[in-house]
Amino acid sequence: MSLDPATVRRIARLARIRVEEAQLVPLGHELSGILNWIEQLNEVNIDGVEPLTGAANMALRLRPDVVSDGGDVEGVLANAPDRAGSFYAVPKVVE
Amino acid sequence: MSYAIEGRTGPWEIVVGLEVHAQAITKSKLFSGAPTAFGAEPNSQVSFVDAAFPGMLPVLNQEAVAQAVRTGLGLNAQINLVSRFDRKNYFYADLPSGYQISQYEHPIVGAGQIEIQLADGTTRQIGVTRLHLEQDAGKSLHDQHPTKSYIDLNRAGVPLMEIVSEPDIRSPEEAGAYVRKLRSILRYLGTCDGNMEEGSLRADVNVSVRKHGEPYRTRCEIKNVNSVRFVMLAIEAEAKRQIEVWEGGGTVEQETRLFDPNRGETRSMRSKEDAHDYRYFPDPDLLPVVLDEAWVAELKAALPELPDAKQARFIGDFGLSPYDAAVLVAERATADYYEAAAAGRDPKQAANWVTGDLFALLNRTGRTIEDSPVSAAALGALLGLIADNTISGKIAKQVFDIMAETGEGPAAIVEARGLRQVTDTSAIDAAVDAVLAANPDKVADYKAGKDKMFGFFVGQVMKAMAGKGNPGLVNAALKARIG
Amino acid sequence: MVFDLTLAEARAGLRRRDFSSRELTSAFNGAIAALNPTLNAFITTTPELALQQADAADVALARGEHGPLTGIPLAIKDLFCTKGIRTTAGSRILDHFVPPYESTVSANLLRDGAVFLGKANLDEFAMGSSNITSAYGPVVSPWTRNGDNRPLVPGGSSGGSAAAVAARLALGATATDTGGSIRQPASFCGIVGIKPTYGRCSRWGIVAFASSLDQAGPVARTVEDCAIMLQSMSGFDAKDSTSADLPVPDFQAACKRGVKGLRIGVPREYRSDDMPPEIETMWQQGLAWLREQGAEIVDVTLPHTKYGLATYYIVAPAEASSNLARYDGVRFSSRTDGADLNELYENTRGAGFGPEVKRRIMIGTYVLSAGYYDAYYLRAQKIRALILKDFTDVFQTVDALVTPTAPSAAFAQGEKMDDPIKMYFNDVFTVPANMSGIPGISVPAGLDAQGLPLGLQVLGRPFDEETVFAVGAAIERAAGFTAVPGMRAGAGA
Ligand SMILES: [Mg+2]
Ligand SMILES: [Zn+2]
């Protein structure tokens, strides 16, 4: 199996990563190499196996409903590449 | 007769399912300790968790879980003792982490139902598919700058309960009734304030049309409709659009649309054009939510009486009509007011006063029942004065208006203004004599068989007594004199 | 010479007031200034801050109010957010990020009196096994092959941490391990590194790579030093929903337990034909040492081990593809402009991420995408359950497992670089512990024929780091590993 350029383009688009046209084919080969290697997992019998979703085998702890955070506008915005007053700023989004 | 839209090719049935996003009432966010209050300064209610800073981790708010469970119980739904959070992955300016933490495969609440009542008095059961907890996104402001959108993350991470209905709804009226009923239940439970203007309750409306007896056709989702009226208008507009497409030989494309209330039409959302692939998977930062059965039972035991049960009780115990009962239970505050005013009084009379005079007063003054100029206790006292014949029903209207204006109690008003009903028979007899003496021609007419004249005499006597004559005694006195 | 002191010895020296923390810290600051231009073990150094912390430590020491690490200079992997100090995760995309908060683990170390020398280099977002993927340049191992001066890789992703400790630029360092990123560089650099049980150290404030696998741990020169550091780093944290609410045992005491009566398992699946014979020899040597000290060695089987690596390369990229979506040029990451928001995202992420990170995000996005989830991600999670079951089963009969840490010694920069899968095989022995959450330590056991260190790995039951320390310390005692890298502070040259 080899990922065709259209698939690579679709994946790159989903992941929001710019990939130059010329890179689509080589990147497709590279990713296919990894995916083909992963195919070995098809030989494992997984009938009736419950998936393990995480290594921590316990129930979720719940937090009391207490306000303990927020109120730090400057801290939240200090690293922003573009801001306008107390807002983050991005190129205009058309809905 | 069931609802249908007449097209060129005949009647079309509409099929509607609703996804209502209801903000769970909590002090802090679903996964962080930042506050949830409405209307704060931009980005002032944001923790680094909400802004998805590197290394930040979600910790689930117990009260949000409790609110979801209460709501599930209120919808007679199945409570899933084990549920899980998944990530819904997509990029958007107001979604800081690039994924929404939601419950996809294993929601906290399963199937339930809501009974709706329609104007013709019929009721219908609308199935609830599920309720799940998820984070709200932030807010993008597009109108602040010519080339930029501004992002405020105050709402990011606010707990939402997404309540998904079955595609059981068949008319705009049913959709409106569904949203109103759901809102009512949420407000009774205290799990959502139901404020649609502030966005605490928003509906995604899925609409399709079909010919009777057909399987479902393609549906379109109208996002974020924020009033009951708009839900109804959007459904009608979208159904008509789809009918036009089908009848024009076209095909309805599954898509996300927006309702434009100014134009009364729906339009495609350009920003959602991208083929979506949400890549759901279990959030590895969180573990399964495991509820203790005893805790759920505790929450259940503490639930308030809900509108359906209250309505049944008002009908059964108080003899109210289903319509009056429905009006009184729609808001918990109204029902509470009514019960307080009616305590120890004639319940039907109390219902008439609340749905009549009181509602008119609130309407006129723009007040809500919570800050009504006439308290439930005061109205109850007024009803007491009618019951013990201190005042007549007619005078009571006058007293009520004075109560609304001055805030004085009914008894004080009656005393101070001398509105007490006259039961002194000699005074009544004197008034009767005077009226009869002044109208000999009318007396003659009456005696000649014009029975209707009796009402005229009653009116004249009451007028002479400034409305304070006891109507029963006035009647009796007249009967005695002219038969 | 302070550089030859272990962390435990330096701590004793500070408490005896043989030297001050300022003296110790200045020595390390100087060594870093001299050697870091060659080794590139630190992305950011904080010499002034370190001296301030050292002075505070000296005040505390003078009052006799010392904590477990008072005055001890450490390196912090640049994946731990440090308040007010730039934290890059080895990526261009976080070039300018200054966290307004301190990670729980580094905060625990500060609470206990530690001095931070700087932020250690790493593979970008901890994705790599050689430290060549760092946007801040590769780390050079302080070791070289006999008679060959070509620069070697220190392993990864905690390569800066491991190189700094091996070259005596710090008494210990924090590290993280998602697929072997503590143990493999420890093995390559001839030092000790432990990945504790998942949930033992809080992940709060550590830049996430793969949330269900990431776990912090220390690297240091001795097993005891690692025990001292892990003691401080560990503990329940309510801010991490996967943090274990369990008491932290006395790890230092556990190092002295010995192995008499322990049953040590040898998983047959860790033996492979292409493993260098020297590694097999060292493994047998390690088992012999343990037998001599009273342990019983038993053969065991972990049938799904061989699928660990491929499983890992589904789970880790999948989680990473989602975890790294937040680097979008809006709130804290560097931005590359675009005509609209999507272009801004694509440009920012296209320019900000290096090739390996992009590769893994793409793989992760693909395996989670519609139509592939069941075939890849769900299948992987099921195999993960089988891997855990293998371990659960063998730990019914043995107390610990001993294996080689890595299938090779350190390699040169440029080797194994042509094919990502070849690089991935570095982690073949370490990955199963991440998949199952169990603790594992790497202890230097000897040198190969080219004079490069080789490590042995000890794996234990969940939350039984004590046995892992006990077995690791037993190997350390028997190995008497005293070899030192050519490039190191105080080497005189
Ligand atoms: Mg929806
Ligand atoms: Zn939703």
Domain spans of chain B, in order of start: 5-298, 305-416, 425-482
Q: Which residues make Cβ contacts (< 8 Å) with residue C28, sequence separation at least 6?
A: C50, C73, C117, C169, C170, C171, C489
CA distance A60 to A56: 10
Closest-CA distance of chain A to residue C7, Å = 31
Is the pLDDT at A56 greater than 70, yes or no?
no
Mean pLDDT of A16-33: 96
Q: How far is A91 from chain C (nearest CA, A)?
A: 5
How many separate domains does chain C show?
Answer: 1
Determine which helix (DSSP H) or strand (DSSP E) holds C174, and give its type and residue range. strand C172-177
Q: What percent of chain B has pLDDT over 70?
A: 99
B217-272 residue pLDDT tens = 999 999 999 999 999 999 999 999 999 999 999 999 999 999 999 999 999 986 55
pLDDT of residue A54: 64
HSE, CB side, 13 Å, CA atoms: give it for residue A87. Answer: 18
Q: How confident is the model at residue B420 (pLDDT cuts 50, 70, 90)?
A: confident
Residue C109 confidence (pLDDT) above 50: yes
The answer to whether residue C493 scores a pLDDT higher than 50 is no
Choose among C102, C151, C108, C153: nearest CA to C132: C153
Containing B195, the helix (H) or strand (E) segment is: none
pLDDT of residue C420: 82
**How do the domains of chain A map onto residue ranges?**
5-42
pLDDT tens, C176-199?
999 999 999 999 999 999 999 999
End-to-end CA distance of chain A: 38
Q: How confident is the model at residue B38 (pLDDT cuts 50, 70, 90)?
A: confident
Task: Give residue C274's pLDDT.
Answer: 80
Count CB pairs under 8 A between chains A and B. Answer: 135
Which residues does B76 contact at the CB level (< 8 Å), separation at least 6?
A: B112, B113
**Mean pLDDT calculated for residue range B364-372:** 94
Mean pLDDT of C296-320: 96
- Which pLDDT belongs to residue C473? 98
The C-alpha atoms of residue C209 and residue C215 are separated, in whole angstroms, by 10
Q: What is the pLDDT of residue C415?
A: 85
pLDDT the model gives residue C310: 96
Report phi then psi at B290, rounded to 5: -115, 115
Dihedral pair phi/psi, residue B221, rounded to 5°: -105, 125
Q: Per-residue pLDDT for C140 more than 50?
A: yes
What pLDDT does residue C492 have? 63
> What residues have a C-beta under 5 A from ligand 1, the ion?
B 19, 204
B212 alpha carbon, distance to own chain's centre? 31
Q: Which of A17, A49, A76 sits opposite C361 (nearest CB)?
A: A17
C272 a catalytic residue:
no
* pLDDT of res. B273: 47
**Closest to B271 (Cα-Cα) out of C300, C185, A90:** A90
Residue B423: alpha-carbon gap to chain centroid: 45
Q: Taking CA atoms, what residue in C is nearest to B276?
A: C370
Over chain C, what is the mean pLDDT?
Answer: 96
Residue C273 DSSP SS3: coil
Structural contact between residues C67 and C111, judged by C-beta atoms closer than 8 angstroms: yes
Give B468's pLDDT tier (boundaries 50, 70, 90).
Answer: confident
**Cross-strand pairs, C440:** C195, C459
Confidence (pLDDT) at B275: 63
Query: Is C130 annotated as catalytic?
Result: no
C332 touches chain B (CB under 8 A): yes
Does C52 score more than 80 pLDDT? yes
Question: Are A71 and B148 an interchain contact pair (Cβ–Cβ within 8 Å)?
Answer: no
Question: Is C382 among the residues known to form the active site?
Answer: no
Kind of pairing between the strands at B159-165 and B10-23: antiparallel
Q: Looking at chain C from residue 192 to 251, which residues have their Cβ under 8 Å from any Cβ of chain B?
A: 203-208, 210-212, 238-242
* Domain ranges, residue C186: 2-261
- The DSSP call for residue B109 is B
For residue C454, the cross-strand partners are C446
- B279 → closest Cβ in C87, C328, C365: C365
What digits encode the pLDDT tens for the residues B439-449? 889 888 888 88
Q: Which phi and psi (to 5°) does residue C273 adopt?
A: -70, -35
- Tell me if B225 sits within 8 A of B203, measured CB to CB: yes
Q: Using DSSP, state whether B472 is helix, strand or coil.
A: helix
What pLDDT is recorded for position B270? Answer: 62
Using the structure block, give the residue that is written with the tokens 């995916």: A35
Mean model confidence pLDDT for chain A: 93
Residues in contact with B242: Cβ distance below 8 Å, sequence separation at least 6, in sequence order = B207, B208, B209, B217, B220, B252
- The C-alpha atoms of residue C34 and residue C28 are separated, in whole angstroms, by 10
CA dihedral C226, C232, C233, C234 (to 10 degrees): 100
In DSSP terms, C217 is beta-bridged to C175
Tell me how long chain A is. 95
Q: pTM for this structure?
A: 0.93
| Longest CA pairwise span in chain C (Å) | 70
User: Active site residue: C77, C119, C195, C416, which one?
Assistant: C77
d(CA C140, CA C38): 7
Residue with tokens 């028979």: B425
- Beta-bridged to residue C220, according to DSSP, are C172, C192
Which residues have CB under 8 Å from C103's CB, separation 6+? B55, C80, C81, C82, C202, C204, C205, C206
Most B-contacting residue of C241, C312, C434 (CB-CB within 10 A), to test interface? C241
For residue B68, which amino acid is it? A
Q: For residue C385, give the H/E element and its range.
A: helix C379-394
CA distance C101 to A87: 21
Q: What Cα–Cα distance (Å) separates residue B435 from each residue in B383, B395, B428? A: 31, 21, 11
Tell me whether residues B26 and A65 touch, CB distance under 8 A: yes
Suggest the residue from A16, A76, A86, A94 to mutate for an interface test with chain B (most B CBs closer than 10 A).
A76
pLDDT score of B271: 52
Alpha helices (runs of H) in C273-371, residue ranges in sequence order = 277-292, 308-323, 341-352, 355-368
Confidence category of residue C325, pLDDT binned at 50, 70, 90 = very high
* Higher-scoring residue by pLDDT: B455, C175: C175
Backbone angles phi, psi at C245, to 5 degrees: -85, 70
Q: Is B277 on the interface with C (CB under 8 A)?
A: yes
What's the CATH class of domain B425-482?
mainly alpha
In this complex, do A61 and C238 lie within 8 Å of one another by their Cβ atoms?
Answer: yes
DSSP, res B8: T
Relative to beta strand C42-45, strand C115-120 is: antiparallel
The DSSP-derived string for C221-264 is SSHHHHHHHHHHH-S--TT-TT----PPP-HHHHHTS--TT-EE
Q: Which has the closest alpha carbon to C163: C40, C6, C30?
A: C40
pLDDT band at C425 (very low <50, low <70, confident <90, very high): confident
- State mean pLDDT over A27-42: 95
User: At C153, which CATH number?
Assistant: 3.90.1300.10
Of B159-168, B262-271, C73-82, C449-458, the range with the lowest mean pLDDT is B262-271
Average pLDDT, chain B: 94
Closest CA to C323 of A79, B104, B101: B101
> Is residue C30 a part of any domain in this protein?
yes
Query: What φ, ψ does residue C288 adopt, rounded to 5°?
Result: -65, -45
β partners of residue B257: B222, B268
pLDDT bucket at B58, cuts 50 / 70 / 90: very high
3-state secondary structure of A27: helix
d(CA C184, CA C172): 16
What is the model's pLDDT at position B382? Answer: 96
Cβ B79 vs Cβ B109: under 8 Å: yes
Please give the average per-residue pLDDT across B76-82, as a whole number.
97
E strand or H helix that includes residue C45? strand C42-45
Residue pair B142/A93 in contact by the 8 Å Cβ criterion = yes
